[in-house]
Structure 1
Amino acid sequence: NAATGGTCFGDSGGPNFLGTTKTVAGVTSFALNGTCGGTGGVFRLDRPDVRAFINSFL
């Protein structure tokens, strides 16, 4: 959302970066409200089971 900087519908699957780096720390899952303000739900990528799954494709 350009006005609030929040997660909005259609953002699902997009990256969530670690601070100001280019490191992807999570993937957007859902928005929390209809005005697209604030943060939404994020699936974290730093869990061991998730990393093992991702690494199986690399």
Structure 2
Amino acid sequence: MRAALGVELEFDPEAISAIAKKAMRLKTGARGLRSILEEKMLDVMFDIPSDKTIYKITIINPI
């Protein structure tokens, strides 16, 4: 994300665990991880290009 949009993306350790657990619960594997992340980041991905004050995004629990 940094290279494409100039924004740092950070994950809280609890969020990483929650994302992995959700993917395991859904039995979706790596594709599930991607869809979970896309679902949670969709709104902010649209806001970043138009809001030059966003420099860092931290994904926190709960997912």
TM (normalized to structure 1)? 0.23
Higher share of residues assigned strand: 1
TM (normalized to structure 2)? 0.22
Higher share of residues assigned helix: 2
